[in-house]
Structure 1
Amino acid sequence: ADRAAAFPPIAHGAMEHAPEINSLLLIDRLEHWDGKSSNGQAWEATGWIGGNINRLWL
């Protein structure tokens, strides 16, 4: 088989993908307690949304 026929040249920009938007939500601690004298809640979370270069961290 001919190598050039197996791997034809690809036009510039043909393999470009649309920008992806990814996200992550990480909850480290989520608590809830209820007692006779006190109630409570505790939340700890971090997250981001965006692409490989531009991200919004929350």
Structure 2
Amino acid sequence: MAIPKYFEFFAPVMECLLDEKEHSTKDIRNHCVSYYSITEEELQERLTSGQYKYSNRIAWAEIY
């Protein structure tokens, strides 16, 4: 499975925030990784900027 697009992370980000408690970016990222069962290999994929692809997409989902 390819890493989901940023807009596909909307649901797991919102699901993580449903309890109305504060969550760190790391907590949200871990929830999204578990939600989509992202593999270790996929976690290592990087953008040309050097940033991890999954992390970048989750960050955009958090912003939107």
Under TM normalisation by the shorter chain, which class is it? under 0.3
- Higher Cα Rg, which structure: 1
Q: Per residue, is there more strand in 1 or in 2?
A: 1
Whichever structure has more helix as a proportion of its residues is 2
TM-score (norm 2): 0.19
